[in-house]
Amino acid sequence: MRKPNKEELIVRKIKDGTVIDHIPAGHALYVLKILGITGREGFRVAIVMNVDSKKLGKKDIVKIEGMELKKEDVDKIALIAPTATINIIKDYLVVSKSKVQVPNRIRGLLTCINPRCITNQPREPVIPEFRTMSLNPLILRCEYCGCTMGHDEIIRQLVKE
Ligand code: CTP
Ligand code: ZN
């Protein structure tokens, strides 16, 4: 019989659902938070944190049985975990594997950190818009005032509320 890899020793394979793999180490709980998963929905959820990864050194994995992600969810995961891979599992097999993609432009989802930015003026109905300057580390730049925002601030804004 095939020897299970280290991750399989911690949490077994799932039958149907979604595996979000290659999450930067320590970020799995943020991914659950933006998906709105509290554990009270009834889905079976496995969280693996700080396991060895060839590509990332260490990584986190989230496995959700019986749930499929919406496009909007995948876009938000990209901003929290730009290295993540989304695996769709059907009857124990990986039927689809895709890397999340940080969009070149992000409209509406985040607010500019500059209080004097036009997007932060109550009387100006301007929708904030950012351009992706760098992926690793993730840096976004406001299209209106040029202020830049790093990964920690992006996560802070996405996981609050
Ligand atoms: N997985 C799972 N349940 C299954 C099938 C796969 O939980 N029935 C998990 C695996 O444990 C792994 C991820 O889904 O974390 C992707 O599976 P697979 O493509 O088989 O693994 P790798 O080839 O290692 O993936 P990658 O090339 O993306 O690193
Ligand atoms: Zn701005």
Can you give the pLDDT at residue 11?
A: 87
Q: Give the Å distance between the CA of 144 and the centre of ligand 2.
A: 5
Can you give the pLDDT at residue 5?
A: 75
Determine the Cα–Cα distance for residues 63 and 11; give it in Å rounded to an integer.
9
- Closest ligand 1 atom, residue 8 Cα: 11
The answer to whether 118 touches 144, Cβ cutoff 8 Å, is yes
The answer to whether 30 touches 78, Cβ cutoff 8 Å, is no
Question: Residue 138: is it exposed, middle or buried by C-beta count within 10 angstroms (0-12/13-18/19+)?
Answer: buried
The count of residues in the chain is: 161
Determine the Cα–Cα distance for residues 127 and 144; give it in Å rounded to an integer.
10
105 contacts: CB under 8 Å, gap ≥ 6 = 129, 130, 131, 132, 143
Which one of the ligands is nearest to 48 CA? 1
Q: Give the Å distance between the CA of 49 and the centre of ligand 2.
A: 35
Can you give the pLDDT at residue 161?
A: 58
The answer to whether 69 touches 18, Cβ cutoff 8 Å, is yes
Q: Give the Å distance between the CA of 99 and the centre of ligand 2.
A: 29
Rounded to two decimals, the pTM is 0.88
- Please choose from 11, 62, 94, 99 the residue to mutate so as to test ligand 1's pocket, defined by most ligand atoms within 8 A of CB: 94
CB atoms closer than 10 angstroms to residue 128: 19
Strand-strand pairing, 129-135 and 138-142: antiparallel
Dihedral angle, C-alpha 120, 121, 127, 129, nearest 10 ° = -40
Can you give the pLDDT at residue 55?
A: 84
- Please choose from 7, 14, 19, 91 the residue to mutate so as to test ligand 1's pocket, defined by most ligand atoms within 8 A of CB: 19
Which one of the ligands is nearest to 112 CA? 2
Residues (pLDDT < 50) of the chain are: none
Can you give the pLDDT at residue 124?
A: 77
Q: What is the token pair recorded at 75? A: 């876009």
Which one of the ligands is nearest to 23 CA? 1
Q: Is 85 in the pocket of ligand 1 (CB under 6 A)?
A: yes
